[in-house]
């Protein structure tokens, strides 16, 4: 923790690493929407934070003025570029980098993983047998995406702690500068590359049905991927696939642990699950990405200078009452729900089918075992900070 001055005024001195934003961003979003829906800040070298759905959407669509080259707001970005195509690619490079991944994440490819996901969840639930109190985030939610993506990539799931540590360095620990942040980020990327390099060597000799083999065989502009592209894409798949989904499962379980009427209704009417999952994604959207202003422009009357950051808060868009009536209320059978939790436009989350499947299976299996679970009295919820927000502790009573 470095000593950053607390935010003086959210409209003009916005900082998403302020503990109050981490604790409860929704109150701040609502306050800002009422008086200044495009918050700004001199921090990070200049930052704009739109709170309205319409502005988030406009920026996501306007790749001419807003670049994805850096999608995590950092005080001190490293000088070494660490591209992770396609998330850090702008047109025209984005499309081919995205197209080569899309076939591996269609519903046709994800649906066959459902039995595996169910088995993974049930093994985790079996391991809780005999306990009356557990942590739904630590003992359950966090392991599910690790095991699923490890299997898809073709790397050992037993290394889960290491994956989460890498991710922590990438998206939490190095966003505020402590003098070593940029170096630690680069060192972590290199450690990941060495790890993936080991498995790439094995798959080159003997390909398997996994994403490392798939990327080794992939073609980009008629040639195999460059090393930079190959390792960048693998880092992206590991980082994008774990804390995001963990956060979504954890936030959904936290909601159900604290809203017994919703919990009972989902147990009684399991056919509501698809609508409920989308509503949890809307209300507790975990992912906020960044853009950089490419050339001076203006949006919603606010001038924006080249090089400034945009904090593209899909969570804020999803709580906009102009688009979602009763936006701060979770309505598990909400029917009109064009939420933006998986982004909007050309960078739409490639893992959305996978994530949705994991969340659905995780909630279904949990509720079958523990239909009456509740939050422990005096439970304190710790939220992650940075671009992926979710509860890192959800202490529950199972009985």
Partner 1 sequence: MTGKRIRLVVDDEKCQGHNRCRLLAPDLIEIDDLGFAHAKGDGSVSPEQADKARLAVKNCPEFALRLVTDDR
**Which chain residues interact with ligand HEM by CB under 6 A?**
60, 68, 71, 86-87, 98, 149, 236-237, 240-241, 244-245, 248, 286-287, 289, 314, 341-343, 347, 349-351, 354-355
3-state helix/strand/coil string of 203-243 = HHHCCCCCHHHHHHHCEECCEECCHHHHHHHHHHHHHHHHH
Judged by CB under 8 A, which of 20, 119, 338, 372 binds partner 1? 338
Nearest approach in angstroms of CB 376 to ligand HEM is: 25
Nearest approach in angstroms of CB 108 to partner 1 is: 7
Of 347 and 392, nearer to partner 1 (C-beta) is 347
Which of positions 253-282 make contact with partner 1 (CB under 8 A)? Answer: 274, 278
Task: Report which of 263, 274, 273 is spatially closest to residue 136, judged by C-alpha positions.
Answer: 263
Judged by CB under 8 A, which of 203, 291, 339, 385 binds partner 1? 339
Of 146 and 152, nearer to partner 1 (C-beta) is 152
Integer Cα distance of 206 and 42 in angstroms: 52
The residue sitting closest to ligand HEM, measured at its beta carbon, is: 351
Nearest approach in angstroms of CB 216 to partner 1 is: 20
299 binds, among partner 1, ligand HEM, none (CB under 5 to 8 A by kind): none
Cβ atoms of 316 and 10 closer than 8 Å: no
3-state helix/strand/coil string of 350-393 = CCHHHHHHHHHHHHHHHHHHCCCCEECCCCCCCECCCCECCECC
Judged by CB under 8 A, which of 345, 368, 372, 382 binds partner 1? 345
Give the containing element (helix H, strand E) for 312: strand 309-313
What 8-state DSSP symbol labels residue 136? I
What 8-state DSSP symbol labels residue 329? S
Of 16 and 282, nearer to partner 1 (C-beta) is 282
Cβ atoms of 394 and 253 closer than 8 Å: yes
Q: Which residues contact 45 (CB under 8 A, 6 or more apart)?
A: 307, 308, 309
Nearest approach in angstroms of CB 349 to ligand HEM is: 3
Site residues for partner 1 per CB under 8 A: 99, 102-103, 105-108, 274, 278, 335-340, 342, 344-346, 348, 352-353, 356
């Amino acid at each position: 923790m470095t000593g950053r001055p607390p935010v003086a005024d959210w409209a003009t001195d916005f900082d998403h690493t302020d503990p109050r934003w981490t604790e409860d961003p929704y109150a701040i979003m609502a306050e800002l929407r009422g008086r200044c829906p495009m918050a700004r800040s001199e921090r990070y070298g200049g930052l704009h934070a739109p709170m309205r759905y319409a502005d988030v959407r406009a920026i996501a669509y306007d790749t001419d003025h807003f670049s994805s080259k850096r999608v995590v707001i950092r005080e001190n970005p490293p000088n070494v570029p660490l591209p992770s195509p396609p998330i850090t690619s702008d047109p025209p490079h984005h499309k081919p980098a995205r197209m080569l991944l899309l076939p591996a994440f269609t519903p046709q490819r994800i649906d066959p993983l459902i039995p595996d996901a169910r088995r993974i969840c049930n093994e985790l639930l079996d391991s809780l047998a005999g306990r009356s109190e557990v942590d739904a985030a630590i003992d359950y939610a966090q392991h599910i995406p690790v095991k699923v993506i490890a299997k898809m990539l073709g790397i050992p799931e037993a290394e889960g702690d290491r994956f989460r540590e890498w991710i922590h360095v990438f998206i939490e620990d190095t966003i505020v500068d402590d003098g070593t942040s940029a170096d630690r980020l680069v060192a972590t990327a290199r450690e990941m590359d060495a790890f993936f390099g080991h498995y790439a060597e094995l798959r080159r000799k003997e390909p398997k049905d996994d994403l490392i083999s798939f990327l080794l065989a992939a073609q980009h502009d008629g040639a195999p991927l460059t090393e930079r592209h190959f390792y960048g894409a693998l880092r992206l798949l590991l980082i994008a696939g774990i804390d995001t989904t963990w956060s979504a499962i954890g936030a959904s379980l936290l909601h159900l642990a604290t809203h017994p009427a919703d919990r009972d209704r989902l147990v009684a009417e399991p056919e509501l699950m698809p609508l409920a999952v989308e509503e949890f994604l809307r209300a507790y959207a975990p992912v906020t990405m960044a853009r950089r202003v490419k050339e001076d422009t203006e949006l919603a009357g606010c001038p924006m200078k080249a090089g400034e950051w945009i904090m593209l808060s899909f969570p804020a868009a999803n709580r906009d009452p102009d688009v979602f009536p009763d936006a701060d209320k979770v309505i598990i059978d909400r029917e009109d729900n064009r939420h933006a939790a998986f982004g909007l436009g050309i960078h739409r989350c490639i893992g959305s089918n996978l994530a949705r499947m994991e969340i659905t299976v995780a909630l279904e299996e949990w509720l079958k075992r523990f239909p009456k679970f509740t939050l422990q009295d005096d439970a304190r919820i710790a939220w992650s900070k940075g671009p992926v927000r979710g509860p890192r502790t959800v202490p529950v009573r199972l009985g």
